[in-house]
Amino acid sequence: MDGLKIGTLICCFISLVLLVIALATPNWVEAADYAGLWRGCNYTVCYSFGMQVASYVHATRALLIIGLIFGIVSFIDLCASFCHTYFGSSTWTKVTSKASFFAGLAVLAAMGAFTGGYFVSSILVATQLGWSYGLGWAPGLLFLVIDGLIRRIHTRHTRQPV
C-alpha cells in the first residue's frame, strides 16, 4: 500500500468530518446567545431559522453543501482507487483532483461570503465569530492540500522508468 495514498484518504475523511461539524453546529456567531447557519440558541431554548436569514447565510449554506458534495465525490473516488492496482488512470485521477479542488474552492468561497456578509451586517451589533466559523476554514484548505497530494500521487505513478 502506498502511504501517501492512505494519508490522502485520511485527510479527505477528516475534511468531510470537519465540514459536517461546521455545517451542523450553531456556534458561528456568539454573544449572549449563539447562532449557526440553521439554528440559534438562547441559553436553553434552540430555534430553527428556516429560510428567514440574510442572503449571505443562504450563499454560505449553498456553497458549503456544494463543497460537501464535491468532497464526497473525491472521497468515493479515493476509496475506489484502492480497488485498482494502477492509480495512474487519468480519468479517475482527474475526477478526484478536480472534485477536491472544487470542494476547497466552494468551501473557501462560502467562508468568504459569510465573513463579508457578517462584517457588513454586524457593524453595530456586539457579537463575535464562534468556533464553528473557525472550523469551517479548515476543510477548504485541506481539500486544496488533497488536490495537491492527488496530483503528486499521479505524477509519481505515471513516471516511466528509464
CATH code: domain of residue 55: 1.20.140.150
What is d(CA 82, CA 2) in angstroms, rounded to the nearest whole number? 10
Residue 104: the pLDDT is 95
Total count of domains within the chain: 1
Cell digits for 154?
499521479
Q: Structural domain of residue 33, as residue ranges?
A: 3-158
Residue 157: the pLDDT is 65
Residues 6+ apart with CB under 8 A from 159: none
Cell digits for 59?
450563499
Name residue 128's beta-bridge partners.
30
Residue 142: the pLDDT is 95
Q: At 148, which helix (H) or strand (E)?
A: helix 131-158
Cell digits for 74?
473525491
The total number of residues written for the chain in this structure: 162
| CA atoms in the 13 A half-sphere facing the CB of 89 | 14
Tell me which residue has cell 459569510. Answer: 114
pLDDT tens-digit profile, the chain (162 residues):
578 888 888 999 999 999 999 999 888 888 778 888 888 888 788 888 888 888 888 999 999 999 999 999 999 988 887 776 555 556 677 888 899 999 999 999 999 999 988 888 766 566 788 899 999 999 999 999 999 988 888 777 666 454
Residue 130: the pLDDT is 87
DSSP letter for 97, please. Answer: H
